[in-house]
Amino acid sequence: MDSNRVKGTVDEVVGTAKQKTGNLTGNTKLQIEGTAQQVKGKLENALGKAKDAVRDANGKTSTASKRVV
């Protein structure tokens, strides 16, 4: 698992907590910060998934080429 996925998940969770806290307290700034952090987390998580997919594809390609030879 790529470190971006871990960081992204943490950002999503913290962002959700900030957003909900902002909703409960009526703090618009905290709501916006939470939403922004959630979006950042989702993007970072997607980047990590893409890196994992490339890594997996490269691993499968090199394994397949070793079998052919």
Domain borders along the chain are 3-68
Handedness of CA 41, 47, 50, 54 (dihedral sign): negative
Show the tokens assigned to 25.
């307290």
How many other CB atoms are there within 10 angstroms of residue 49's CB atom?
Answer: 15
- pTM score, whole prediction: 0.77
1-59 pLDDT, tens per residue? 789 999 999 999 999 999 999 999 999 999 999 999 999 999 999 999 999 999 888 88
